[in-house]
Amino acid sequence: METLPLNGIRVLDLTLARAGPTCVRHLADWGADIIRVEPPGNNDGFGGPRDGFDFTNLHRNKRSIALDLKHPEGHAAFLKLAATADVVVENMRMQVKHRLRIGPDDLHAVNPRLVYASISGFGQTGPYSKRGGVDQIAQGLGGLMSITGEPGRGPMRVGIPIDDLTAGNLLALGVMMALFERVKTGRGRWVHTSLLEAQVFMLDFQATRWLQDGEVAGQAGNDHPVNTPMGVFPAADKPINIAASSPKLWEVFCRTAGREDWLANPAWATPQSRTQDRAALNAAISEETRKHPAEWWIDRLEEAGIPCGPVNNIREVFEDPQVQHLDMVWQVPHAKGDLPVVATPLNIEGLAPGIRRGVPALGADADGVLAEAGLTPEQITQLRASGALGR
């Protein structure tokens, strides 16, 4: 593997579930040395079965050590690891890291240059800080479920763990900013976000509608909340998305669809009036779009400069020629054979990240990792004999 931007950055990965591993995956894919620290024993519950599709996708490009942080000797060994690290990432409940004596103050005492990165459910302080949080709870508390789905059908979760993923993405950005600052100051920072903060951030224009105009957004289904027409329409074979809400695009769309008469309808003359009469407008458009297959419409609308595209299922996504061109699948070596996983979405021209190692067996790299932290073979043997180090 050629030199990557994060070569030489050592990360201790204490994460579980999805939000924390999403952050670490970015660092791993771009060259950081990731040491995954897990408790000894069977840790399927620490992130799903090790041979499962989810674990393989989240935990590629790492080394592994199985260390009991509750054991005095295991805790002491972890502090030695922390003294050699650049970054620690964790997404435990807020109070757990302090109970284990591995919080930011504990680790900065042995390594002031350390960037300590945390994700929680609801924040490191405040009335909900001790609660455990999962993605769907944050989707509900953070307002997303109230604006997702069709009007009148009640709250609806988004079909991916969007708060987990976004919190992990944002934490990776925070880590990089803290590492950049460390170049100037020589000192690390505690960087943290939460599922709730990530979700409130993602409310974006729906949030500012409330903050500035006092308007509480509701569910709009597949339609854009304020722009019309912009939504899903039936073609002869499968649904398509069409976005033609601006005055210019609306005019082009009407002419391309062969319905110049729509331009004379006063109820559809402005973006605001089209939104007010959305049901009738969508019905009229649907009557036209279902006359031809999706590709027929996509070819013509794209040629006219109108954004549009198919509504694909997951299989169709990976069969799409543009997705295939973007190389969004990597192969991870595994005991079962090479397994496909989702590639990084980031591109830096001239660099080619990829899979340097597969998912490690639990504790497979303990001796080398501990030796790099300064432990002698005798100390490693004693640590293992004490039960603090898994095999």
Distances (CA, A) of 354 to 26, 127, 384: 11, 42, 33
Tokens of 197: 């903060």
Q: What is the 3-state secondary structure (H, E, C) of 115-180?
A: EEEEEECCCCCCCCCCCCCCHHHHHHHCCHHHHCCCCCCCCCCCCCCHHHHHHHHHHHHHHHHHHH
CA gap 236, 292 in Å, rounded: 5
Element (H or E) spanning 106, and its range? helix 104-110
Cα of 146 vs its chain's centroid, Å: 21
Say whether 234 sits in a helix, a strand or coil.
strand
Say whether 113 sits in a helix, a strand or coil.
coil
Q: Which of 13, 33, 163, 164 is catalytic?
A: 164
CA gap 191, 189 in Å, rounded: 6
Assess whether 327 carries a catalytic annotation.
Answer: no
Cα of 137 vs its chain's centroid, Å: 16
Catalytic residue annotation: 164
